[in-house]
């Protein structure tokens, strides 16, 4: 398939649409793409010479980082990247983790642990699939801090059950997150220069 490296040609892409994270004339492209697993549309992939899924240069050399739509350099990690190591990140880059959730399952993704110098931003963002409300994506952002310099660190996620509990005598409560014993696990490593 055009605009995919030899490794990504054998992967099965998600059925959920996404938006291109490339840039055109310094502005976010944002074009709708057929799979949220892809990071670039065909046009941006051809313009940059990068695989639209993993961003590897199509001429065979490796690259891991690009500029997020937020303007902060980093990498976007998706379901198909489980177990992968992303190389050549810099201090102050970000790792955006975007995983598919089945809202009917009652489970949701949460970050279990991050390596030294990898700092999770509080909270996450859920985006429902407009064509199938059973599914959506949950996005987490991890900042690469000075402490990660020169190291390879892991980011681990797991599925949790969210439940709401009330305080004493019906006063304010809050959500609790309980790890699912047989829930899915997800792990990537990042190598920081």
The verdict on 94 and 181 lying in the same domain is yes
* DSSP summary character for residue 7: T
Is residue 59 located within the same domain as residue 85? no
Average pLDDT, whole number, for the chain? 83
- CATH number, domain with residue 175: 2.60.40.2020
Distance from chain centroid for Cα 162: 21
pLDDT digit string, tens, across residues 81-92: 899 999 889 999
Whether residue 96 sits in one domain with residue 50: no
pLDDT digits (tens, 9 = 90+) for 116-132: 999 999 889 998 888 88
Quote the pTM value.
0.66
Q: Cα-flanking dihedrals φ and ψ of residue 105, to 5°?
A: -75, -20
Residues spanned by the domain of 1: 1-63
For residue 154, pLDDT beyond 50: yes
Report d(CA 69, CA 23) in Å as an integer: 8
- The domain tally of the chain equals 2
Mean local confidence (pLDDT), 68-78: 74
Same domain, yes or no: 1 and 78: no
What's the pLDDT at 9? 83
The last residue of one of the domains, among 63, 82, 114, is 63
Which tokens is 24 given? Answer: 């055109």
If asked whether residues 57 and 143 sit together in one domain, one would say: no
Q: Do 112 and 193 have their domain in common?
A: yes
Rounded Cα distance between 19 and 185, Å, is 25
Q: Please, which residues bridge with residue 114 across strands?
A: 155
pLDDT for 190 equals 95
Q: Please name the helix (run of DSSP H) or strand (run of DSSP E) that holds residue 110, with its range, or none.
A: strand 107-114
Stretch among 17-31, 52-66, 124-138, 157-171 having the lowest mean pLDDT: 52-66
Band of residue 65 on the pLDDT scale cut at 50, 70, 90 = low
Same domain, 89 and 44: no
One domain, residues 23 and 96: no
CA distance 127 to 115: 26
pLDDT at site 67: 55
Residues above pLDDT 70, as percent of the chain: 84
Same domain, 47 and 97: no
Strand pairing partners for 145? none
Strands 94-102 and 73-78: parallel
Residue that terminates a domain, selected from 45, 63, 81 = 63
Q: Residues 185, 128: one domain?
A: yes
Is-contact 154 187, C-beta < 8 A?
yes
Bigger pLDDT: 20 or 172?
20
Are residues 110 and 56 part of one domain?
no
* Residue 15 shares a structural domain with residue 108: no
DSSP state of 30: -
Which pLDDT band holds residue 167 (cuts at 50, 70, 90)?
low
- pLDDT in the model for residue 95: 93
Higher pLDDT, 22 or 125: 125
Q: Which of 43, 63, 83 corresponds to the end of one domain?
A: 63
What integer pLDDT is reported at residue 139 of this predicted model? Answer: 92
Q: Which token pair is 114? A: 């991050």
Query: What local confidence, expressed as pLDDT, does residue 45 receive?
Result: 79
Q: Is 99 left (phi over 0), alpha (psi -120 to 50) or beta?
A: beta
């Amino acid at each position: 398939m055009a605009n995919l490296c030899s490794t990504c040609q054998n992967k099965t892409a998600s059925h959920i649409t996404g938006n291109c994270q490339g840039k055109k004339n310094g502005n976010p492209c944002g074009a709708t793409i057929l799979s949220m697993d892809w990071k670039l549309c065909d046009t941006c992939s051809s313009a940059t010479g990068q695989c639209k899924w993993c961003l590897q240069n199509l001429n065979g050399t490796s690259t891991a980082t690009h500029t997020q739509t937020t303007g902060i350099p980093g990498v976007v990690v998706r379901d198909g990247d489980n177990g992968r190591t992303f190389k050549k990140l810099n201090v102050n880059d970000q790792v955006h983790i975007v995983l598919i959730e089945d809202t009917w399952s009652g489970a949701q993704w949460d970050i279990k642990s991050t390596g030294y110098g990898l700092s999770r931003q509080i909270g996450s963002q859920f985006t429902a699939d407009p064509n199938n409300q059973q599914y959506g994506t949950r996005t987490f952002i991890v900042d690469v801090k000075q402490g990660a310099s020169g190291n390879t660190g892991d980011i681990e996620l797991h599925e949790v059950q969210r439940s709401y509990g009330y305080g004493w005598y019906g006063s304010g409560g809050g959500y609790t997150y309980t790890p699912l014993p047989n829930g899915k696990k997800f792990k990537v490593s990042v190598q920081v220069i």
